[in-house]
Amino acid sequence: MRAMTMVAEAAAPRTSQQSLARLDWRALALSVGGLLLAFAAPPHRMDLLLIGVAASLAGVIWSPYAGPILIGAALPTFFFTRTLAGPLSVTPPGLALILSWVAILVRHRRLPLRWPSGPYDAPLALLLVATLLSLLVTQYPLLSVREMRALILEPVLFFWLLRCLPDSDRFALAGFVTGATLTAVAAVAQGPLGIGGTAVEGVLRVQAWYPSANHLALMLGRAWPFLLAGAMAWRRWAWAPAAIVGLGLLLTFSTGGWLGTLAATLVVIVALGYRKLAAWFGAAAAVVLVAVSGLAIAGALPERLNPLRQTGGFRLDLWLSSLEMVRDHPLLGVGLDNFVYLYQQLYLREGAAAEPSLSHPHNWIFNFWLSLGLLGLIAFVWLLVRFWQNARITLRSMDRRWLVAGALGAMADLLVHGFIDNSYFLVDLAFVFWLSLSLVVGRIERT
């Protein structure tokens, strides 16, 4: 809860606390309790589901700024779906998003709303066009439409919500770092309590309620730079949640997560103006990496820390298969959520036969190209270019730049960790991507 206050207060003007008055904590408690009831109710208790949805909706209508917090906090729980009627189901952040838009429609006359336009309009439009075009080539339309809803349409609607409701991006960030911290607490507790986690290659990899330790590392890697930037540039007590998230990342034993976190840390430190510290930290990290790798190769440390283990060759075969798929489908790709089927049927190489059911190519370039076609990849790179341009302007013109530094670190984690794993095509990662974009353009508008 204190993380929410940290982000909210830091983004508010020094001379006014009016932004804080937009959030009523009683309304937030009502909306959180309603969402918990809606997803904890047994499937046959539709009455409890309706009561929970009604309570959550009442809280968000009462205080619309509770909606973005609810969405952000619910991102680590998107696995827990709830059936509403027939095949229609929602995730916690998806339901919170729907309720937030309902609240906007109900309270629009009393809210300082704005039209959701800005520097990302053109690449965003291209991304939506690429998404629609990808439906022309998919072999499994229902799967692609479901993926389009979860990873493109809902995250974009979240972005537009943040753009419509001024300052709501900082509340969404407050919810996200709070949810990430609580998830990290659950992950760290797995070892001492002996519940969950995956024992492999001589270590216990924590994962909380996530399906894999790598996915947990992806999510925590997006939260870490915001907490680090807040601790370095705003309030020292933020080191507490930062340490919890950092420990959770460490215990995932995710090589990609560690590399992404290192990149994010360096970017945050440089963005905040500590270039010498970044150089020293980078040098120290390189020494530790070489030492740990050498000891693991020599057998003095668990095999999981050995950079020469089988995983490296496996990914090379996977990338070669992805490259062949790109060669055969260069313009429109293969469609959303179609990679695994073509991979199994036509492109699986002998070196990667041990894991034939991979759903993505473990590389953000191949992932966007194959899922959304060449236009989708161009749109994503265009969004990144606009993001870095906006961030550079903001860092020069603003004294409180830790939010932008955190967003830069989160994007660095996306590119580095996403180069050898997933990057965008998971619900929590997609939402945080658009949140990072909004935070940067939002800072520009308030300078």
CB 436 within 8 A of CB 158: no
CB 171 within 8 A of CB 7: yes
Q: Where are the domains of the chain?
A: 24-62+65-110, 119-272+310-445
pLDDT of residue 43: 86
pLDDT of residue 437: 96
**Token digits of residue 121:** 């309009």
**Which is nearest to 280 in space by CA: 265, 292, 290?**
265
pLDDT of residue 10: 46
* Helix (H) / strand (E) containing 371: helix 364-397
Task: Please give the span between the terminal C-alpha atoms of the chain, in angstroms, as a whole number.
Answer: 28
Non-local CB neighbours of 194 within 8 Å, separated by 6+ positions: none
pLDDT of residue 21: 44
pLDDT tens, residue order, the chain (447 aa)? 555 555 454 444 433 334 434 788 999 999 999 999 999 999 888 899 999 999 999 999 999 999 999 999 999 999 998 887 767 889 999 999 999 999 999 998 888 888 888 899 999 999 999 999 999 999 999 999 999 999 999 999 999 999 999 989 999 999 999 999 999 999 999 988 888 888 887 889 999 999 999 999 999 999 999 999 999 987 888 899 999 999 999 999 998 999 999 999 999 999 999 999 888 988 888 888 888 778 777 777 777 776 666 565 678 889 999 999 999 999 999 999 999 999 988 888 887 777 888 888 999 999 999 999 999 999 999 999 999 999 988 887 666 689 999 999 999 999 999 999 999 999 999 999 999 999 998 555 554
Tens-place pLDDT, residues 71-95: 999 999 999 988 877 678 899 999 9
Non-local CB neighbours of 307 within 8 Å, separated by 6+ positions: 255, 293, 296, 297
pLDDT of residue 235: 82
**Token digits of residue 258:** 């560690």
* Helix (H) / strand (E) containing 225: helix 213-233
pLDDT of residue 36: 95
**pLDDT > 90 in the chain, percent:** 66
Non-local CB neighbours of 113 within 8 Å, separated by 6+ positions: 104, 164, 165
**Token digits of residue 38:** 């809606």
pLDDT of residue 12: 45
Give this prediction's pTM: 0.92
Report the C-alpha gap between 172 and 432 in whole angstroms.
9
Query: Strands 203-205, 198-200: parallel, antiparallel or unpaired by DSSP?
Result: antiparallel
Tens-place pLDDT, residues 253-278: 998 999 999 999 999 999 999 999 88
CA of 408: how far to CAs of 218, 234, 242, 282, 402, in Å? Answer: 15, 17, 17, 17, 10
